[in-house]
Amino acid sequence: MRNNFPLDQERNMLITWASFKEGNWDAYTLIYNSYFKFLCNYGYKFTQDVNIIEDCVHDLFVKLWTNKNNLGNPASVKNYLFKALRHAIFRKTEVSDRFNSIENQDDDTYSFAFEVSFDQQIIAREEEKELQSKIKILLQDLPSRQQEIIYLRYYENLSYEEIADVMGITTSSAYKLFYKAIHNLQELFKISKFKMILILIIFLEFQIFF
C-alpha cells in the first residue's frame, strides 16, 4: 500500500532536479526512471492508448532536456511532471481549447473517461470484488474531473494545493470538486448489517497486516 514516493526521496529529488538543470545526464536519467511508472499510471487514466501516453512522456522529457536552462524549481518534481504530462496529453489529443473553455465554464468534465481498472490478480475476496465493481460503476458515472481528483487524492495522495496546481484550478475549487465527488459516491456508504460484518472482518485483517 505504501506506493507513494517517500517524502525524503521527494526532497532528494529536488537536489537531483537542480543537478539535471545544470546538464547532469545521470540526474536526468534518475528523474526519468523514478517517475516513468507514476506518469504512465496517471496517463492511463486519461487514455488507454499506451502509444499516446508514451509519446507524451517522450515529448515531455525531450522538452525538459532542451529547456533545462529555463526551467524553474518546482516544489515537487513529481507534481511538476504530472502537470506537464496532463498538459501534454490534452495537447496531443487536441482538446486543449475545449479543456480551457471547460475550465472557464466550471464544467466538470472533459472528453476523457477517467478509467478505473482493477487488477484482477490482486483481488482475492468476493466482498472486495463486489466493492470494487461498485466503485467502478459509480466512478464511471462521475464527471471525469471528479474521477481525476479522486485518483490524485486517494491514489497519489496529493494535497489540495498540489491537486490545484496539477489540474490548474484554485485550491478551493479542488476542495469543492473533491467533496462533490465524494458526495456522488454516497451509494458506497450504504451498507447492510450482514455486509458490514464481512467488511469488519476484512478491515480487522488489514489492521493486523498493516
Interaction site with another protein (CB under 8 A): 1-4, 29, 32-33, 36-37, 40-41, 43-44, 50, 53-54, 57-58, 61-62, 65-66, 116-119, 122-123, 128, 131-132, 135, 150, 153-155, 157, 159, 178-179, 182-183, 185-186, 188-189, 191, 196, 199-200, 202-204, 206-207, 210
Look at residues 167, 188, 44 and name the one whose alpha carbon lies nearest to residue 159: 167
Distance of closest approach, residue 101 Cβ to another protein, in angstroms: 28
- CB half-sphere exposure, 131, CA atoms < 13 A: 16
Distance of closest approach, residue 203 Cβ to another protein, in angstroms: 4
Query: Which residues make Cβ contacts (< 8 Å) with residue 113, sequence separation at least 6?
Result: 140, 144, 147
Between CA 95 and CA 111 the distance in angstroms is 8
Residue 95, C-alpha cell as written in the block: 482538446
Nearest CB to another protein, comparing residues 28 and 99: 28
Query: Which residues make Cβ contacts (< 8 Å) with residue 22, sequence separation at least 6?
Result: none
Distance of closest approach, residue 118 Cβ to another protein, in angstroms: 6
Nearest CB to another protein, comparing residues 58 and 91: 58
Nearest CB to another protein, comparing residues 44 and 83: 44
- Report the first-to-last Cα separation within the chain, whole angstroms: 9
Nearest CB to another protein, comparing residues 97 and 183: 183
